[in-house]
Structure 1
Amino acid sequence: MKATGIVVEYNPLHNGHVYHAQQARETSKADVVIAVMSGNFLQRGEPAFVDKWARTKMALQSGVDLVFELPYRFATAHAPIFARGAITLLDAVGCSSFCFGSEDGDITPFTNSLSLINQTETVYETVIKKAIQDGRSYPNALKEAYTSIQDNTSQTQLADLTKPNNILGFHYMEAAQCIGSMMKPTTIQRRGADYHEADLHAHKVASATGIRKSYFSTGSMDEMEPFVPQATKDILFDWQAERGHFGNWETFYPYLRYTILREGPIRLASIADITEGIENAIYRAALKHDAFQPFMAQVKSKRYTWTRIQRMLTHILTGFTVEQRETMPAPSYLRLLGMTGDGQTYLRSVKKHLTLPLISKVATLSNDSLTMDIRAADLYAMALGNCQHVPKIGLDYLTPPIRTHHFGSNDSK
């Protein structure tokens, strides 16, 4: 059987994501689509709208055959590390290709851009280093370095690396090259709203950002209904009935604030991504503000993007330290969250050839990275609260991989 891979967050899964999975299958002529999906905390440093189990159900009912969890260390990292973790897992599970959505919609510009950066690596890295030393954010440093090497080439068909999906796509290709993967990269044109677009429009494809904004501003799921498949609607309605609310920083802020004030600046300095004394600014803001938005407004500066600060806060909440991060240079397992019948058949056919251990029960592996995943899931569940008097702490130990016979049929809750 032939497999193609995609990297997803599904926060939540919407019509554009269904199109991506369909096109990945069709363009690669694959038998199965394999998704590497972030857990309960995401790449932009946010709690997920709903947990990884709910999003796995969405995926399996919307065109995906296998879902593996991207470990916390990679799921909450900046783009190059995020991409490296995801591509490593897709390669380890035997994908012959991977497919990403992009603003360009053509793989040639990405191939050209990767080749150009390889040819000018010394200059490129020097510009990045100097820009960061001068106080530029990492994304702006990358933009400056890329612009500088573009000025010295006659190649005109290059990827626009100011666009969020193009940036991630480029890093996926860069990661595949770095690990020596034989997977073929493919891309499809992103349809509808831009990645960060916050408004919902008349077309049937909206951004996940817009969908979440709509819910949190109205408290209703009515506006989002045209933009998500039936499986997502059903799962979100069930979640709302059980939990009453969805994941965001406003809900999580009391736990974050408590952690910041308990730890104090000295201990905060040991947390991953905390640098250059920003722990003091974070501590002072937590002392003053009892809501997330004014807290962030005080901490935010030109040197640190909103996303970078959110990643710091995620690590503070979960207690993820610099020392822990250094012990996790690459993914060390394949954590299975769910599968269709075709996905299960594929796994059986490649099980002996997997290059990382397959984990379907977390009790079978003692691993620092897996322990971090479990801790993050438990803290997420605690912040949202239990539903219907059923404890949600320890779900990683209690929940087997979700199985569906085919899209739209779920036989495991």
Structure 2
Amino acid sequence: MRERMPTVVSTDVVCLGESMVTFLPSQAGRLADVPSFERAIGGAESNVACALAGSGHSVRWVSRVGADGFGDHLVETIAARGVDIGFVGRDPRRPTGIYFRTEGERPTTLDATGDSGGAAEVVYYRAGSAASAMSPQTVDLGTVDDADVLHVTGITAALSEECLELMRVLTGPRPDRPLVSFDVNYRVGLWDRAEADAAPGPGVLLELARGCDVVFAGEDEAAAAWGVTGGPESLRERLPEPAVLVVKQGGEGATAFVRGDEGGDGEAADTVHFEPALRIDVAGAVGAGDGFAAGFLSATLRGLPLAERLRHGHLTAAAALTVPGDLAEPPSREVADRLVALDDEDWRALHLGPGWNTGKADPS
């Protein structure tokens, strides 16, 4: 049964997916050796929602959380960022998800013992969470369709069979569907567990991506999830359907493929553009992908050219990388537009460190 929700009002972007309370380590090292943690929040879709709201867009977050203190913390924190949380369901029978992590990048591969090869340890306590109960029966499509853009990620598909069913509906054809943005966001730990439970493996992410309009995928996760190697062109060959495909290439930059008839029947040739990444003094190695998606989508909503969309993506990713947690204040539109307008030489010379996006330090 669907819960009673407020009247739906049109919005720029809807972000749908699970957010969790995250515990950040007080020191580097194994989880077994960390003596204490600082509470924060984490969730790919809510990260994007907060960054887009900070960039001046109207944004709605659609999800479910438990009727518990962690759920209160999530909705209050996200609402304080200017995001509409009126369509977040509260579940009295299921808890809000939480997770613990160490410093470093999230792994894309694990060996037979579950070791991540030196990447960050990430331990989820989200099985049976309130968000894992999202389904076509608990989420009113009216709350997501009355928007210019719907942003989702592959994380949701791994949470439960009900969530996968919802994702298939959201990314499938239907009348008056908004532009659907999909970040692959492959999480090896989630899909390993899903496969063990006889649920579809990460190949289902390829199926979902093919139904979307804008797709974000990292070279590393495309190789890990689908065995796609050979560079951005190889991934485009595997994913010809989306009107826009953005391939993130780590510290090198990002390549975007935009069909000549963007939003059309897929017959026109692609426009292809590469934009180099920036030099960054990294304070925290998470949230960059979410920031990139938010910056790119913000520039897309503003109708900016492809090169500028990629640069806005890099700048919002840089904002995430120069703070220790997942959430970061995006650069003001004035600052971002000024940096995006730099010529190629000056763009490549930029060096960003903590505080650059809040006016506490000047970009150099």
- Same fold, TM exceeding 0.5? no
Q: Which structure has greater strand proportion?
A: 2
TM-score normalised over the length of structure 2: 0.29
TM-score normalised over the length of structure 1: 0.26
Instruction: Work out which of the two has the higher radius of gyration on C-alpha atoms and give 1 or 2.
Output: 1
Which has the bigger relative contact order, CA under 8 A and spacing at least 6?
Answer: 1
